[in-house]
Amino acid sequence: MDTATPQQTGSASLTIEKLAEDQIVCLRFSGHVDESFDGKKISQAIKAQTLILDMGSIARISSFGLREWSDFIRTVEKTVKNIYLIECTPKVVDQLNMVANFAGKGLVYSFYAPYRCDFCDLDRQILFQVDRDRDAVRNNRPPEQPCEVCGNPEYLDEDPATFFSYLAKQPEIEIPSDVATFLSSKLGYSVSEAPRRIQVEKHVDARSTYLKLAGNLDGSFPREKIAEGLEGTIVIDVAGIGGIDPAGAAEWRGLIAMVGPFVERIYLLGCPPAFLERLARREDLGEDVEVLSFSMPYACNTCSTTVGKAIDVGEHYEILKFATPPEMKCDDCKSQTTCVASETLLSQLPALPQPTATNELRKFIKEAQQQQRRERAVAAATAAQAQKTPVGVPGYVTALLSVSTLAVLGLVAYLGYERYLGEDDVAAGAAGDPGAQEPDLTEHRPDWITTGAPGTAYCSDLINRLVCVGVSEYRPDRQEARVEANRAAKEELANEVGLKIEGDRFRDIRELYASARRDAVVAVSDAQVDDQDYAEALERRREGRATVSRALEQTGGAAVPGQPTDWYWEEYEPRDEDEDAEYLVFSRFDVSMDGLRNLVERYDDVVEVGGSTVLTAFPSLGWSHPELEAGAVVTEAGGVLSRAGVQAHDIVVEVDGEPVRSARDLAEALRRAGGSPQIEALRPGGDRIESGG
């Protein structure tokens, strides 16, 4: 649990700050919710799929305010898909407990609980997270907290059964990765115990490079990776930057200094207020860095909302150079707004240089942004389904099996249960009205499926685990498609683990497989569907995923899930009468944070072996070594390995005929073998060598 105190407003009037990005909107309430709160009007201005309600500064909710709030919830839940409540004050928790449908379909993610220290006669509030503190909430056993003043235990100053009554019954909550990113970048709100690492999207065209950064700017900022190979004109979109700590600020300045000699000019796009205040001063920008745009908060008195507005420096330069904010109108009611930026931010506006960006560069930026939006849309779309007609009720068949369901039943063997449930569902689905309207598959798929594109795979960092999902190709056999989806998910899991390993020695290992993996994946999208090249590219990707997933199972230990957490399938009718029906299968694997850390540590464990250093062979090396199952990859060759002809980057797979499963396994095998072992290894080029000391 985190200790915090909600911000209190000095006025009883209600103010609402509105933050928005793509399909996510956040409303931050401050003050008293009373009859002045026009709930219906506010709800009609919400155009998004996800609504976040920040309740941390609500001091009071009156009876008339409650009526308006109910109207607000009833109206808004009809137009948005998800609603999350964060930092609910004890006053809000009281309303949740007493008022039916106070949150509607919304889910509470975090709330404040009142704690008291009798020794100091002090009260404070402790922030609970519903997922992390689930056991304490459901068991009505809030833990004692040490007093920050005297160190004696504090206690919950409420009856636990009463205070937790609503929260204990709430369904389990899982914050999607895009919402977690929004909370962190826009609100500085921690949705994870570990800092969220920077995500980078890159687009290159001719002499210009576009980078989009999202995440917390802290000491883990990978400036070397980002700087590598940058040249020409660089555009960095920093709109997604969240929290900035001193170490992160230093790393950013280091990036600018590192790439300065190799680039012509750097343009910054979408600078948030905190970024502009801390990292866009004259001494930070220098001669080669320009700010093209930034955001400032503007308040609308009519709507009682505050929204960040994008400011184009070139368009408003003549006003900004006098530390004057440009005039802006409210997007919702079109009324004139008032800039409420800090004096620090306003005082830095005159220091912004007049942009030198050409129309050609601005066109490149627009095209890069459009391209990245298209790529995200493709990842979320159900590719190739337009050419396939679903069958069943009314034209498709679905079945969902979860490991948890199987555990509850416990009456039949796993495969037997799969056949039994699957066949019944197929028979029932096929009996539907064939003339009914084609369904929207996205309404029936589980929430964890975010794309239906065949052959894809993706991982999402959630609050307390990593979720990896694999999607099969369309296959005539459902079990075959399921195996394919499992392998796609596990291969993506291996790749995600590799991206999280920061050890210097592992960086060279990553280079050994990254290009082979990239080539295999790109070949599928580059090949024409009707060409022989396409079939060969599919098979190459399929075989690579199979090799990597097997190697992960062999070397990853107990942290690698044996069975999917969930899986889901769809059956599609054939396009021609002579063809068979086809199946599309989705497999999901969940890995806990502890399991993920274990995997990172396992593959980053450098072992010294008789003058050599080795790592456990990383599963993704299977992309360049189709025979790989397990082994130890040599990072520096010396001693007995060097005498046996083993070189750096070779993968030792056997010693004296015994298989090697890990780096420590190799060390033990060489100890047993003595001075002249027979060694079998795989060379980076794919050759298999056998040698003796």
Of the residues 353, 376, 399, the one at which a domain ends = 376
Within this chain, do residues 128 and 20 fall inside the same structural domain, yes or no?
yes
Helices (H), 260-401: 273-279, 282-285, 313-320, 343-348, 359-380
Domain that holds residue 366: 188-376
**What are the C-alpha distances in Å from 243 to residues 182, 393, 523?**
11, 48, 38
Cα angle, residue 370 at apex, residues 367 and 374 outer, rounded to 5°: 135
DSSP state of 22: T
Within this chain, do residues 552 and 685 fall inside the same structural domain, yes or no?
no
Within this chain, do residues 177 and 92 fall inside the same structural domain, yes or no?
yes
The residue to which tokens 């090249």 are assigned = 533
**What are the C-alpha distances in Å from 629 to residues 555, 589, 681?**
8, 21, 12
Burial class of residue 594, CB neighbours in 10 A (0-12, 13-18, 19+): exposed
Residues in the chain: 693
Cα-based torsion angle of the residue sequence 141, 113, 29, 241 in order, rounded to the nearest 10 degrees: -80
Within this chain, do residues 415 and 557 fall inside the same structural domain, yes or no?
yes
CA distance 634 to 617: 9
Q: Which long-range contacts (CB under 8 A, 24 or more apart) does 364-373 make?
A: 364/205, 364/208, 364/210, 364/235, 365/210, 365/235, 365/269, 365/292, 367/205, 368/203, 368/205, 368/210, 368/235, 369/210, 369/237, 371/203, 372/201, 372/203, 372/212
Please list, in sequence order, all residues whose beta carbon lies within 8 angstroms of the beta carbon of residue 221, skipping any fewer than 6 positions away.
Answer: 198, 248, 251, 252, 255
Within this chain, do residues 213 and 302 fall inside the same structural domain, yes or no?
yes
**What one-letter code names the amino acid at 456?**
T
CA distance 446 to 429: 18
Residues of the chain where predicted confidence (pLDDT) is lower than 50: 1-11, 192-195, 380-443, 693
- Cβ atoms of 609 and 641 closer than 8 Å: yes
Which residue in 387, 424, 445 sits closest to 570, CA to CA? 445
CA distance 361 to 235: 9
- Cβ atoms of 125 and 112 closer than 8 Å: yes
Which two structure tokens, joined as six digits, stand for 614?
Answer: 């080795």
- Cβ atoms of 666 and 632 closer than 8 Å: yes
CA distance 569 to 583: 7
pLDDT of residue 494: 94
Indicate the number of domains in the chain: 4
Within this chain, do residues 220 and 163 fall inside the same structural domain, yes or no?
no
**What one-letter code names the amino acid at 547?**
T
The three-state DSSP-derived secondary structure of 44-106 is HCCCCCEEEEEEEEEEEECHHHHHHHHHHHHHHCCCCCEEEEECECHHHHHHHHHCCCCCCCC
Please list, in sequence order, all residues whose beta carbon lies within 8 angstroms of the beta carbon of residue 623, skipping any fewer than 6 positions away.
Answer: 513, 516, 517, 520, 544, 547, 548
Whether the ω angle into residue 394 lies within 30 degrees of 0, i.e. cis, is yes
Within this chain, do residues 509 and 461 fall inside the same structural domain, yes or no?
yes
Within this chain, do residues 193 and 177 fall inside the same structural domain, yes or no?
no
Within this chain, do residues 309 and 391 fall inside the same structural domain, yes or no?
no
> Which pairing describes strands 289-291 and 263-269: parallel, antiparallel, or unpaired?
parallel
Of the residues 598, 626, 655, the one at which a domain ends = 598
Within this chain, do residues 141 and 93 fall inside the same structural domain, yes or no?
yes
Cα angle, residue 176 at apex, residues 92 and 390 outer, rounded to 5°: 125
**What one-letter code names the amino acid at 591?**
V
The residue to which tokens 């274990």 are assigned = 598
> Which pairing describes strands 632-636 and 688-692: parallel, antiparallel, or unpaired?
unpaired
Within this chain, do residues 218 and 318 fall inside the same structural domain, yes or no?
yes
Which two structure tokens, joined as six digits, stand for 474?
Answer: 């369309």
Of the residues 129, 157, 181, the one at which a domain ends = 181
Which residues face 148 on adjacent strands?
A: none
- Cβ atoms of 596 and 559 closer than 8 Å: yes
pTM: 0.46
Which two structure tokens, joined as six digits, stand for 40?
Answer: 């219906």
Q: Residue 682: which CATH number?
A: 2.30.42.10
DSSP state of 445: S
The residue to which tokens 């699957």 are assigned = 422
pLDDT of residue 527: 67
Within this chain, do residues 121 and 257 fall inside the same structural domain, yes or no?
no
The three-state DSSP-derived secondary structure of 497-516 is HHHHCCCHHHHHHHHHHHHH
CB atoms within 10 A of CB 383: 15
Segment (H or E) for 633: strand 632-636
Chain CA centroid to CA 254, Å: 26
Map residue 224 onto helix, strand or coil.
Answer: helix
- Cβ atoms of 244 and 272 closer than 8 Å: no
Which two structure tokens, joined as six digits, stand for 50?
Answer: 């996800």
- Cβ atoms of 301 and 13 closer than 8 Å: no
Which residues face 297 on adjacent strands?
A: 308
Chain CA centroid to CA 457, Å: 14
The radius of gyration of the chain's CA atoms, rounded to the nearest angstrom, is 29
Task: Give the orientation angle of helix 532-555 with respect to helix 478-500, to 10 degrees.
Answer: 60
- Cβ atoms of 516 and 509 closer than 8 Å: no
Map residue 125 onto helix, strand or coil.
Answer: strand
Q: Residue 368: which CATH number?
A: 3.30.750.24
pLDDT in tens, 139-179: 888 888 888 788 888 999 999 989 999 999 998 887 776 78
